[in-house]
Chain A
Amino acid sequence: MLSRVASNLYWMSRYVERAENTARVLDVTWRMSLLVKEPRLQDQEWFAPLNITGTLFPFAGRHKVANAREVLHFMALDPENPSSIYACAKSARENARAVRGSITSEMWEVLNGTWLEIQQMDEDKMLQRGTSTFFDWVKDRSHLFRGVTFGTMRRDDAYHFARLGTHLERADNTARILDVKYHVLLPSVKEVGGAVDYYQWSAVLRSVSAFEAYRKVYRDAVTPIKLAELLILRPDLPRSLHFCVKQAFETLNYVKNDQSEETLRKAGLLLASLQYGKISDIFTKGLHEYLTAFLRSTQEVSNGVQKSFFAPILVE
């Protein structure tokens, strides 16, 4: 298929996935912010979503304080922030519009409808109605888009490039969500392992829709180690790093060309490390350090995809 079209499909999916995950990050932050805490730590957790999406710097350039209202505006509805949910909805639609011939009309209608609706929203309404209503809407639209993609698209290259975008973005995002806890300071040392800590880890689990899965797999209280094992190494959880990297690797293997060998190799190495990794090793190394390294690796694979499939190939 056309390189430009493959690139548009890939980015279309990435933006949809990113919007959904930003909603999930904000939702988990919101839940954490509702927990009782000392007044001096008020609003502390609102730095977390900025930190994990790497947008603290542009945010600080335009906002004085990081509180619920300001961060929600910046990350949900700010047209100037290229990674806001609003901007993602717009970019996804623009990418889809550029390749309308390669997606089904149902896919286009979902993205176009989402874009038309999100333009009508503002943060006053969002806070009034409860932010969760908004986050649920974002997730619903993303579910709908994935469902319609799955249910209507021929399993050709277009489908595979779209799925590649979804899984690389999701791997990146799950790693970032898992890193939330690192960036959220606990109220005090005595709380570690206590009620607040429990609620925070549960919020992380719920944010990736994995609470029930956790219970089924471990039949145990929520502990950081088990939770990390679930979200990193579990091969059958659709938002785990292992699952996403496996999907991405298989897709890459399907669409591979003369130039993609090195990218495939990198993805394969990453997959092997997840297939044979042990959670105790990861915690010995440090969870935050592990996740940082993981993000670097997925970035390398993304760059490889960009170079081997989307950059113009010249013949000599």
Chain B
Amino acid sequence: MAPPVYFNEMYDGGRSVRPHYAAFAEWLRDTPPERIAQNRHAADLLFHRVGITFAVYGEASGTERLIPFDIVPHVIPGADWDMLSRGLAQRVTALNRFLHDVYHDQEILGAGLIPYEQIQSNPQFRPEMIGVDVPGGVYAHVAGVDIVRNNDGKYYVLEDNLRTPSGVSYMLENRKMMMRLFPELFAQQSIRPVDHYPDLLLETLRELSPQGAENPTIVLLTPGHFNSAYFEHAFLAQQMGIELVEGQDLFVQNSTVFMRTTQGPQRVDVIYRRIDDDFLDPQAFRPDSMLGVPGLLQAYRAGRVTLANAIGTGVADDKSMYPYVPEMIRFYLGEEPILNNVPTYVLKKPDDLQYVLDNLAELVVKEAQGSGGYGMLVGPTASREERERYRQRILDSPERFIAQPTLSLSVVPTFVGTDLGDRHIDLRPYVLTGSSTRFVPGGLTRVALREGSLVVNSSQGGGVKDTWVVD
């Protein structure tokens, strides 16, 4: 079998540096290796000292790890980004229209474009949200859309994360670190800034005030410091100057949410929640949850408080709903999708199931409800035994799975020890939706550090890179 060909973001087929990487490549060539090594070391120390860590599940409580940071940036030409951002805005707008529709008139189901049972059988569908009007009809105020580049050089959307997408703090810290360690790189070329993300997020949240109050009280609700993304929660709250609250800090009275302060109860208007639906309100969802606020759903339904993101957004980012997104764009916006979907097989369809079982060695199979890179089968790199075990799981409950062709994710040179090696990446831009759609250019680039690996998740040992949109 011929070795797979990957799109290299830095070099073209003839190993010449692509124009948008020229300035960086020149710098890399002219900078003494000792200085680079020194600065890479300095970056590690700084990240450690500043405590930019994530908590690891399944290890002793409180275990924190550093996400490996690589100094070779992921550079995106300005024109590519302009296309991507148009595509992202289009996609997230359609997804928001879909969410409103699915909790109101369900026109897209009536039109026969998405089967009813897709909704009914979906555990992320929240019947509690039917008929509830959310401010501006927007559900996913913060979306993290995962994008990859295939060996055809085209960008594909891999996943729409609409519940509580994380990682934006790393995007901001990576940039800060690069500017601190290699200021000359920023002086030499025009790299679009990202530091104003917290401003955009705050602006978005302020627009959600339920009664249009001039000065809404906005809080960020975290599950607490054992959560893997706690650093990010604290970071964002601090950057926006809003309170970081835990469930125990809030209570509901007369359908109004209050926080407990040293001066007594204070009304809360907008909650940027980083807790999943299931744990938000023990009275409405999981009764055993200690993380949420009893009565929150009732206050929300009464329109006394706004949640970002809205309850029930999961029904639109479920992997089994993903194949229908291009249809949503056509249906709600009357436009052709700007961004490509990856062809996806839905295994509850008998034809798709048969095809996938016949071609398991070439496909990636994922659980429709899975996340974090857990529980997936990467056909081409799995052993025969692993494939057979997975085949059995699929046959037991095919409706739980989807499959996609193995994409050849693009690669970027990455420091491995003291050498540069090509490693696969993906990109997560963040799309903010309030009264308008807002972005910072780029996003978080994640990199798989093991050679040949396609799994970039931090929980699976992935690293991060700074993302540059250059003009």
Chain A residues with CB under 8 Å of chain B are 1-6, 94, 97-102, 105, 108-109, 112-113, 116, 157, 161, 255, 257-258, 309-310, 312-315
Contact = CB atoms under 8 A, between A and B. Distances in A.
A2 B225 contact: no
B262 A257 contact: yes
Contacts of A108: 50-51
Contact of B264 (A6, A105, A116, A315): A315
Interface string B3-34: 00000000000000000000000000000000
B172 to A, nearest CB: 13
Contacts of B243: 1-2, 5, 101
Contacts of A113: 49
Contact of A1 (B50, B235, B262): B262
A100 B261 contact: no
Interface stretch (B83-91, B245-253, B307-315): B245-253
Contacts of A309: 262
Contacts of A112: 49-51
Contact of B261 (A2, A97, A99, A101): A2
A6 B262 contact: yes
B176 to A, nearest CB: 11
Contacts of A101: 234-235, 237-238, 242-244
Interface residues of B, number: 28
Contacts of B50: 105, 108-109, 112
B249 A4 contact: yes
29 contacts: A1-B262, A2-B259, A2-B261, A3-B249, A3-B260, A3-B262, A4-B249, A5-B243, A5-B244, A97-B51, A98-B225, A100-B238, A100-B244, A101-B235, A101-B244, A105-B50, A108-B50, A108-B51, A109-B51, A112-B49, A113-B49, A116-B49, A255-B262, A257-B263, A258-B264, A309-B262, A312-B251, A313-B264, A315-B258
A5 B237 CA distance: 13
A102 B244 CA distance: 9
Interface of A is mostly: helix
B259 A313 contact: no
A315 B265 CA distance: 7
Contact of B260 (A2, A98, A102): A2
B349 interface: no
B265 A313 contact: yes
Most buried by A among B242, B258, B260: B260
A267 to B, nearest CB: 16
Nearest to B231: A100
Contacts of B237: 101
Nearest to B259: A2
A82 B94 CA distance: 55
Contacts of A257: 262-264
Contacts of B154: none
Contacts of A94: 225
A153 to B, nearest CB: 13
Contact of A4 (B231, B238, B246, B263): B246
A94 to B, nearest CB: 8
Contacts of B264: 257-258, 313, 315
Contacts of A116: 48-49
B49 A109 contact: yes
B48 A313 contact: no
Contacts of A255: 262
